Amino acid sequence: MANKNTSRHLPGDPEVHHIIPYKFHIGIWVGLIILTVMTVLVSVMGISLVAFSVITALIIASAKAVVVANYFMHLKYENKLITWLMGVTMLLFVVFIAFTAFDYITR
């Protein structure tokens, strides 16, 4: 009854399992380490404009998160639906923060 040998396939599913080469993963890792070093330098040495350090740190962190999601987590090779739903989730998170912050900023 239950089929364990092959997985179901529906329209919209990725055609084949995408195998990411070892070297490519290592390249991604090097990039992530560089971004980490950058964010530490920006903060500790004050290389960037001080007032923007929070924003710089968050932009770098977001870039790292996107890279991890896209390549390490294979998001780029999955059904596009997941990317869209991830977008909705992030949108809601931003709304939660923005609306709440709006209350505090205008108080």
Q: How many binding residues for other proteins (CB under 8 A)?
A: 65
What x/- string results for residues 88 through 107 when contact with other proteins is judged by CB under 8 A?
xx--xx-xxx-xxxxxxxxx
- Residue 33 binding other proteins, by CB under 8 A: yes
**The two three-digit tokens of residue 22, written as one number:** 């070892």
Identify which of 23, 21, 18 has the alpha carbon closest to the alpha carbon of residue 74: 18
DSSP string covering the chain: ----SS----TTS-SSPPPPPHHHHHHHHHHHHHHHHHHHHHHHT--S-GGGHHHHHHHHHHHHHHHIIIIIT-GGGS-HHHHHHHHHHHHHHHHHHHHHHHHHHT-
By CB under 8 A, name the one of 61, 76, 80, 84 that touches other proteins: 61
By CB under 8 A, name the one of 49, 65, 76, 80 that touches other proteins: 65
* Residue 73 Cβ vs other proteins, minimum distance, rounded to whole Å: 5
**What single letter denotes the amino acid at residue 59?**
I
**Which residues contact other proteins by CB under 8 A?**
1-10, 13, 17, 19-22, 25-26, 28-29, 32-33, 36, 39-40, 43-44, 46, 50, 53-54, 57-58, 60-61, 64-65, 68-69, 71-74, 78-79, 81-82, 85-86, 88-89, 92-93, 95-97, 99-107
